[in-house]
Amino acid sequence: MDTARADALTAREHLALRGWIPARSESFRHLPPPGLETWLGDAAPPATADGNASSLAGAGWTLHPVGGTPPVGVSARWLDASDPAQRAELFAGLPLPGEGDAAPFAWAHRALCRQGLRLRIGGTPVTHTGQTVWLHLRHQPRTRVEAPLLVVEVQDGVRCVLIETHEREPAPCGPPLVQNLRIHLHVGQGATLQHLRMATPAAEDQISHIVQAHLDQGAQYAQALIASDSAYHLQRSALDLQGAHASTRTAGVLLASSSVLEQQVQTLHNAAHTHSAVEALVLASGKAHAVANAHTRIAPGASEANVRQRLSGIPLAGQPRLVLRPHLEIHHDNVQAAHGATWGALPEDALFYARQRGLDEASARTLIIQGMATALLERCFDAPDLLATLEEDGLLARTLARHLTTTEEPHHG
């Protein structure tokens, strides 16, 4: 038996022995995921011989320039996980799934993963010139049940802006998608990665996206997520600040109109003088169920760590269920930490002044919500060019408009 198939079978055997995520799991008690059988799919197809297969052949990932400028200093490899040599290259240096609360997702991914993409960002001339590398990475599903993999290595001292989009048009006659995506990021010493993620699945899709980021000394990572609900939608980020003076910021704009959506952000401060900030804006309507879950752990040696958590929820219409869970776990005395959660309606004074300018009710609400989302992104990203590109492309505006058209607006006064 080849090693690729053996590795996949070992993962299935582990799941059969240990089982799926238990009902008592604290991380998933508000939105339990579908059962194991949902995520495993069929047996993997035969291996292909070419390790440089086009992304359109099945990996689903395509690279695109931003602003008409081709990416410089980027090495990309599309790899077939059913081929032993390519699977070894694809998974090289990645941690084993382990036994954590979300480990069953990782084992299921290892059992089903068929293709993946490895990106190496940096090298001459980028490292020496200090220019920023811009990338737009799109993913389109290739099978009904899939487990894509993305591995990104940002080399020491490199600055990178990565826009990652998952936009799937509804297919009235097609089956719903089941997707168990894993992303592994390594941000090298003194490097900066600004990562905009957009995930807007179809209504019946069942989605799990798990991002693991490892930050070296002085590394900076900022992630902004714009996500909409579906039959099951989990967005989970595990951020490991291993080097001193590393910092991370995450911001989530969560749009739930009728189904479910959960964002989990787990941050580990494992070194001194590290900084993290988590912010989420949850906009929900109808009978949606949305969860924003932030957990930050400050290890015993993380002297002078600085932590901020801010979670906000706004019900727009109907009777949605919103759960906001900020949580701090502190094992060192010399730190600064603050967390909070707020829940409430759109500000009436802002609505009033918008209406005074001649806007109708729906336009006023849309304008205010877009302003709140843009302000959150501005706090996350120190990149005016990225925000300008986002506004120019209309990505945020289109996503918000698509969400708000499904919302029955309440009447005010």
Task: Give the residue extent of every domain in the chain.
Answer: 3-348
H helices within 243-359, ranges in order?
348-356
Find, among 57, 26, 16, 94, the residue nearest to 295 by Cα: 26
- In sign, the C-alpha dihedral spanning 28, 30, 31, 34 is positive
Give SS3 for 363: helix
pLDDT tens for 222-252 read: 999 999 999 999 999 999 999 999 999 999 9
Higher pLDDT, 199 or 359: 199
Residue 40 has pLDDT above 80, yes or no: yes
> Any idea how long the chain is?
413
CA separation for the pair 42, 65 (Å, rounded): 35
Q: How far are the Cα atoms of 53, 199, 211, 261, 371 from residue 202, in angstroms, in the given order?
A: 28, 10, 21, 13, 25
pLDDT tens for 304-314 read: 999 999 999 99
Find, among 246, 239, 138, the residue nearest to 192 by Cα: 246
Confidence of residue 105 (pLDDT cuts 50, 70, 90): very high
pLDDT tens for 297-353 read: 999 999 999 999 999 999 988 999 999 999 999 999 999 999 999 988 887 887 887
Residue type, 251: A
Whether a cis peptide bond, with omega within 30° of 0, leads into 384 is no
